[in-house]
Amino acid sequence: MKFISTRGGEKVTGAKAIVQGLSANGGLFVPEKFPQVSKNELEEMLSLSYPERATKILIKYLDDYDEKELLSACEKAYAKFEGGDPAPLVRLDDGVYMLELFHGPTCAFKDMALTLLPYLLRKGCDICGIKEEILVLVATSGDTGKAALEGFKDADGVKITVFYPSEGVSKMQKLQMCTQEGGNVNVVAVKGNFDDCQTAVKEIFSNEEYNKKLLEKGVRLSSANSINFGRLAPQIAYYFSAYLDLVSSNQIETGEEIDFTVPTGNFGNILAAYYAKQMGLPIRRLHCASNSNKILTDFLATGVYDTNREFYKTTSPSMDILVSSNLERLLFEISGRDTKLTSKRMSALKSEGKYEITSEELEKIIQTFDGGFANEETCVEAMYDVFIDTGYTMDTHTGCAMKVAVDWFEANKKDETKMVIVCTASPYKFPQDVLYAVTGNDVKDSFKGIKRLHAATAMAVPKCLQNLRDKPLRFTKTADSKKLFEEVLEFLK
């Protein structure tokens, strides 16, 4: 399997795509073609464990990796998850299921990929004959940073720097990152929002002078953001696994179509579902859920992507994004894989903050996608209603997805298609906001919030969050978004 850039000019192996992260011209790597999973293959996967299922999906893309080694890496990665099943499916109501992706080491869905990415990256270097030290650069809106730090801590031949918006993450997310252990890790707060962090990191990747300076130091750049296909590929697997769990529990028949509702900021999580559909997984519709930063909702309604709008800081910070990088991969597909047109649109986004697709392209998109959003008030209402009706507790991002799913059901009352709502973080990562949503009580201290949320819900508190209170702060630096390369060089001294 070869990988090509959405902006043309490169064709590389899977290992090279993962090690490089981003193409030289700033484009994103995509598979040259989508591998297919037949109905027979689906049925054969029913009896497999999650690591085995993930390996079957990944090897279809990463055929330059050894399948036995890949399986061993998946088993080691997913053994770090609490409860035995990394991606359990919980039945909420008739036809509605919650796909819980927050049982990993950092209590967020990013763990599903970032526990495995260190292996994919290190092995990719070996396959490509790369001897230089790898520097992983990460821009985070909250969850990716901690998951990447935890995944790469003390990894041989790898260093990692994470940039996060100084006022754009929750208290718990900030504590998780700034207390991170490991001798090869670095965390820097950035003045601005996530888009500022992401733009600066992309600039470092695409700047020839910066890369030359790093190579002189014996360092190569790579990414742990979902712009890296090595982040995206493991996420495809849990959509297959959720479908297989529905079949094995006799909720659906093999071949029956289902829907997913996905809380989405950078468009990576829902794009993985789209890739699963392209591979043959029977997905009917993908419901794209946003918060008050509803740029994706507006795009799916109009075909116009316009970042020239107010930016909101919300209680679902991982979705506080106006530049959804992975949308480029979808644009590439619906344009007929037109690299010149994709490049032109990304240039317009950079220079003017907007672009527009054709009505024919929008029609292609809405055959699969629809969008909705929840503001702060309606997110709280959705979380409260589900908690009162079923006793199920969800985080704020999943609350946005629940609001969108409820809106869909109310508008399509006769729709009997099974719906899976993707739960992206533990409620304990946002204890004060979740506590307020389910009880109306407001506390200022995160750890008091955890204690009271546990009392109200009886949900087990993840050990990794319980222990945060006693960890010393290691990283307290704040930098300007225009000076992040200087921070990189300082870290490499």
DSSP result, 63-101: TTS-HHHHHHHHHHHHTTSTTS-SS-EEEEETTEEEEE-
d(CA 276, CA 412): 25
> What stretches of 246-399 adopt beta strand conformation (E)?
258-263, 283-290, 304-306, 354-356, 369-373
3-class DSSP assignment, residue 188? strand
Buried/exposed code over 277-310 (b: 16+ C-beta within 10 A; e: otherwise): bbbbbbbebbbbbbbbbbbbbbbbeebebbbeee
Please tell me the predicted confidence (pLDDT) of residue 427.
98
At 272, which amino acid appears? A
Q: Distances from the Cα of 129 to the Cαs of 16, 75, 372, in angstroms?
A: 10, 25, 46
Backbone φ and ψ for 303, nearest 5 degrees, come out as 85, 5
Q: Distances from the Cα of 308 to the Cαs of 200, 266, 289, 299, 411, in angstroms?
A: 19, 17, 20, 13, 30
83 C-beta neighbours (distance < 10 Å), count: 9
pLDDT in tens, 194-230: 999 999 999 999 999 999 999 999 999 999 988 999 9
Please tell me the predicted confidence (pLDDT) of residue 33.
98
Q: Distances from the Cα of 313 to the Cαs of 167, 270, 310, 391, 428, in angstroms?
A: 9, 22, 10, 28, 19
């794009």: which residue's tokens?
A: 271
d(CA 244, CA 262): 18
List, in sequence order, every residue forming a beta bridge with 134; answer none if it has no partner. Answer: 158, 220
Please tell me the predicted confidence (pLDDT) of residue 142.
82
List, in sequence order, every residue forming a beta bridge with 4; answer none if it has no partner. Answer: 11, 30
Please tell me the predicted confidence (pLDDT) of residue 22.
92
Please tell me the predicted confidence (pLDDT) of residue 331.
98
3-class DSSP assignment, residue 157? coil
Give the side-chain half-sphere CA count within 13 A for 413.
1
Mean pLDDT of the chain: 96
Give residue 482's pLDDT band: very low, low, confident or very high (50, 70, 90): very high
Please tell me the predicted confidence (pLDDT) of residue 240.
98
Calculated CA dihedral for residues 404, 406, 408, 413, nearest 10 degrees: 180
**Domains recognised in the chain with CATH numbers:** 89-108+230-462 (3.40.50.1100)
């293959």: which residue's tokens?
A: 41
Please tell me the predicted confidence (pLDDT) of residue 380.
98
* Residues 142, 396 contacting (CB under 8 angstroms): no
At 183, which amino acid appears? G
Nearest to 7 by CA among 342, 355, 331, 361: 342
Question: How much is the average pLDDT of 285-291?
Answer: 98
pLDDT in tens, 331-362: 999 999 999 999 999 999 999 999 999 999 99
d(CA 150, CA 182): 8
Tokens describing residue 305: 């992507």
Give the angle subtended at the CA of 323 by the CAs of 317 and 329, to the nearest 5°.
115
Q: Distances from the Cα of 124 to the Cαs of 14, 17, 94, 329, in angstroms?
A: 8, 9, 44, 22
pLDDT at residue 84 above 90? no
Please tell me the predicted confidence (pLDDT) of residue 441.
96
pLDDT at residue 304 above 90? yes
Which residues have a Cβ under 8 Å from the Cβ of 454 and sit 6 or more positions away? Answer: 461
Which residues have a Cβ under 8 Å from the Cβ of 73 and sit 6 or more positions away? Answer: 116, 119, 120, 123
Nearest to 202 by CA among 228, 166, 177: 228
**Burial of residue 493, with CB atoms counted within 10 A of its CB: 0-12 exposed, 13-18 middle, 19 or more buried:** exposed
pLDDT at residue 317 above 90? yes
List, in sequence order, every residue forming a beta bridge with 260; answer none if it has no partner. Answer: 286, 420
Handedness of CA 110, 114, 117, 122 (dihedral sign): positive
pLDDT at residue 467 above 90? no
pLDDT at residue 305 above 90? yes
Please tell me the predicted confidence (pLDDT) of residue 466.
86
More confident residue, 16 or 466: 16
Which residues have a Cβ under 8 Å from the Cβ of 313 and sit 6 or more positions away? Answer: 167, 168, 193, 320
Sheet (strand 283-290) strand order: 89-93, 96-100, 419-423, 258-263, 283-290, 369-373
Which residues have a Cβ under 8 Å from the Cβ of 46 and sit 6 or more positions away? Answer: 244, 247, 248
